């Protein structure tokens, strides 16, 4: 149900956003993503939330930054859902956890490990944080069409950036190290901070969500350190995300067909 009020954190009103919304973490990337739309204009910028709205394939589409981590992401999802958004696609960055996740690769997120605290305020511990299948397939098809190196699988969503980067100085270092090793042994591809909250809150609100994240440091993440923020190869991620939205718009416009029943 659309909320008629000005949304407190986003500072957006009904009509300010489209049904399809791309979600970077960094407010500085909102304008960069919006520049890939057919047209776009700044709608609002408040705290970590910067929103542009424009058109893609003749359909109103927005981009809203979420800031870093689960709590701010959950707020963005709640308020976007209030305003009528029905499709949310995160475009972010991650650290590789498997050898095949190389710098510049895309990870199309199928599900997220709920190794964070926000989603516990929404659902019980056993609830899976999964991406919408339509979005996963649209992202994969776009990555394939563009010849982009990509992987489809599970990411770890965490709360503490430095708990990952410098676990040895934390009082719970042994627990952090053991959990990190377990996720790697289980085949988790990459680590990031928002997908679990995005997928879970979207599920609770009855809308669809997905994500593609760019590998910006390879395993072992701690030894490699962080790259220069200004040198990240973001354009393939943006192109894949906007292209996937174009695919979703086209697919959603197709009339639903009823399954054939054998007589």
Count the helices and strands in the chain (H runs, E runs).
8, 10
Instruction: Give me the pLDDT at residue 4, please.
Output: 75
Question: Residue 3: inside a domain, yes or no?
Answer: no
Question: Residue 253: inside a domain, yes or no?
Answer: no
Q: Which domain, by its residues, includes 50?
A: 20-248
Instruction: Give me the pLDDT at residue 224, please.
Output: 55
The tens place of each residue's pLDDT in the chain, 263 residues long, gives 567 789 999 999 999 999 999 999 999 999 999 999 999 999 999 999 999 999 999 999 999 999 999 999 999 999 999 999 999 999 999 999 999 999 999 999 999 999 999 999 999 999 999 999 999 999 999 999 999 999 999 999 999 999 988 999 999 999 999 999 999 999 999 999 999 999 999 999 999 999 999 999 876 655 556 666 667 889 999 999 999 999 999 999 998 765 555 54
Instruction: Give me the pLDDT at residue 102, please.
Output: 93
Instruction: Give me the pLDDT at residue 229, please.
Output: 65
Give the count of domains, the chain.
1
Question: Residue 11: inside a domain, yes or no?
Answer: no
Question: Residue 254: inside a domain, yes or no?
Answer: no
Sign of the alpha-carbon torsion through 238, 239, 244, 249: positive
Question: Residue 50: inside a domain, yes or no?
Answer: yes
Q: Is the peptide bond before 91 cis (omega within 30 degrees of 0)?
A: no
Instruction: Give me the pLDDT at residue 218, please.
Output: 76
Q: How far is CA 160 from the centre of its chain?
A: 17
Do 211 and 90 meet the contact criterion of CB atoms below 8 Å apart? yes
Question: Residue 112: inside a domain, yes or no?
Answer: yes
Question: Residue 220: inside a domain, yes or no?
Answer: yes
Kindly report the CATH number assigned to the domain that includes residue 118.
3.40.50.1580
Instruction: Give me the pLDDT at residue 230, please.
Output: 66
Question: Residue 260: inside a domain, yes or no?
Answer: no
Instruction: Give me the pLDDT at residue 44, please.
Output: 98
Instruction: Give me the pLDDT at residue 225, please.
Output: 63
What are the backbone dihedrals phi and psi of residue 238, each rounded to the nearest 5 degrees, phi first?
Answer: -65, -45
Picking from 187, 196, 235, the residue whose alpha carbon sits closest to that of residue 214 is: 235
* Distance in angstroms (rounded) separating the CA atoms of residues 64 and 44: 9
């Amino acid at each position: 149900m659309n909320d008629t009020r000005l949304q407190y954190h986003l500072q957006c009103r009904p009509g300010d956003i489209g049904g399809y919304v791309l979600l970077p973490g960094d407010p500085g990337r909102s304008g960069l993503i919006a520049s890939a739309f057919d047209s776009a204009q700044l709608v609002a910028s408040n705290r970590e939330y910067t929103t542009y709205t424009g058109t893609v394939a003749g359909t109103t589409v927005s981009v809203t930054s979420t800031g870093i981590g689960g709590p701010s992401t959950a707020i963005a999802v709640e308020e976007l859902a209030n305003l009528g958004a029905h499709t949310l696609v995160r475009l972010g960055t991650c650290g590789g956890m498997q050898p095949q996740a190389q710098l510049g690769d895309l990870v199309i997120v199928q599900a997220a490990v709920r190794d964070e605290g926000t989603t516990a305020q929404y659902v019980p511990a056993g609830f899976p944080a999964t991406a919408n299948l339509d979005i996963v397939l649209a992202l994969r098809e776009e990555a394939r069409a563009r010849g982009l190196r990509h992987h489809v699988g599970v990411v770890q969503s965490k709360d503490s950036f430095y708990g990952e980067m410098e676990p040895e100085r934390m009082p719970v270092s042994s627990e952090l190290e053991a959990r990190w090793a377990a996720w790697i042994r289980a085949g988790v591809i990459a680590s990031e901070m928002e997908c679990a909250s995005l997928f879970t809150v979207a599920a609770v609100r009855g809308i669809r969500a997905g994500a593609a994240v760019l590998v910006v440091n390879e395993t072992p993440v701690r030894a490699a350190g962080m790259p220069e923020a200004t040198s990240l190869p973001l354009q393939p991620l943006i192109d894949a995300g906007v292209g996937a939205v174009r695919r979703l718009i086209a697919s959603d416009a197709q009339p639903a067909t009823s399954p054939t029943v054998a007589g």
